[in-house]
A and B are shown apart, each in its own frame.
Chain A
Amino acid sequence: GNSVTQMEGPVTLSEEAFLTINCTYTATGYPSLFWYVQYPGEGLQLLLKATKADDKGSNKGFEATYRKETTSFHLEKGSVQVSDSAVYFCALKGSGGYQKVTFGTGTKLQVIP
């Protein structure tokens, strides 16, 4: 079955530091890949997505590139802010008709001033 593995947290960074959160996946075919963010006390929000190999999703300064050769979708941001503190979930959705979304376990990011 489909699965997503992401780096364990918490990740603690100083403001303006570079962020990478690793995500790798296992799936057949050509899944769509997502990053969701969950701020404290809120539901998940879609941060960015990529639907085919070599696509780059980007939003709010975050980027992730769909790498089929390494089955990865790492999340990056060049300069984090305190307001980026949240839990980040990598997820995939299989190809072909309806497929449910499979989430990783989440990585908590703490950005300190």
Chain B
Amino acid sequence: EAGVVQSPRYKIIEKKQPVAFWCNPISGHNTLYWYRQNLGQGPELLIRYENEEAVDDSQLPKDRFSAERLKGVDSTLKIQPAELGDSAVYLCASSGTLLYNEQFFGPGTRLTVL
């Protein structure tokens, strides 16, 4: 079974530029998560989707971050414009519908903003 796929794996941009990350969850997983992991820290949830609906986006900085999950499968996370402090690893995870279902993580996209 294929795992969670993310692309690109690495991205280097200059500040004020836009950037987008893509995630393809495990087939059949209705719940999709985006996390940000700063250097030396644990992941922090940005947004959670149940199918195509964003059910928890309380930690998403909405002035510059946006996300979508059209058709309830793939998802895109966008930053526009990027700031130096956005440098981090952006992780995507997915899980099934049961309450204690394990979250499966992708390898992440390492973003460097110069």
Of listed A32, A89, A103, A105, residue having the most chain B CB within 10 A: A103
The reply to whether A105 and B100 contact each other, CB–CB distance below 8 Å, is: no
- Residue of B whose beta carbon sits closest to that of A108: B40
- Residues of chain B touching chain A, judged by Cβ–Cβ distance below 8 Å, are 3-4, 40-45, 48, 55-56, 91, 93, 99-100, 102-108
The reply to whether A100 and B107 contact each other, CB–CB distance below 8 Å, is: no
Bound-state CA distance A39–B24 (Å) is: 21
> What are 19 A-B contacts defined by CB distance under 8 Å?
A4-B42, A43-B91, A43-B106, A44-B105, A46-B102, A49-B102, A89-B43, A91-B42, A98-B55, A98-B56, A100-B45, A100-B56, A101-B103, A103-B42, A103-B44, A104-B42, A105-B41, A106-B41, A106-B42
Contact-size category for A: 10 to 19
CB-based contact B99/A98 at 8 Å: yes
In chain A, residues 34-65, which have Cβ atoms closer than 8 Å to a Cβ of chain B?
41-46, 49, 51
Nearest CB of chain B from residue A90's CB, rounded to whole Å: 9
Q: Which residues of A contact B48 (CB under 8 A)?
A: 100
Complex Cα spacing A80 to B56, Å: 39
- Asked, given contacts A89-B42, A100-B48, whether A42 binds B56 with beta carbons under 8 Å apart, the answer is no
User: In the assembly, what is the distance between CA of A43 and CA of B34, in Å?
Assistant: 12
B105 CB contact (under 8 Å) in A32, A45, A100, A104? A45
Point out the residues of chain A lying under 8 angstroms from B42, CB to CB.
4, 89, 91, 103-106
CA of A5 to CA of B25, assembled, Å? 30
Kindly state the separation between the CA atoms of A43 and B56 in the bound complex, as whole angstroms: 22
* Min CB–CB distance B65 → chain A (angstroms): 17
B106 neighbours in A (Cβ, 8 Å)? 43
Q: Contact between B100 and A32 (Cβ–Cβ < 8 Å)?
A: yes
Q: Within the assembled complex, what's the spacing in Å between the Cα atoms of A51 and B99? A: 12
Chain A min CB distance to B7 (Å): 13
Cβ-defined contact, A44 with B45, below 8 A:
no
Closest 5 CB pairs of A and B: A103-B42, A43-B105, A44-B105, A43-B107, A43-B106
Q: What residue of chain B has the Cβ atom nearest to residue A93's Cβ? A: B100
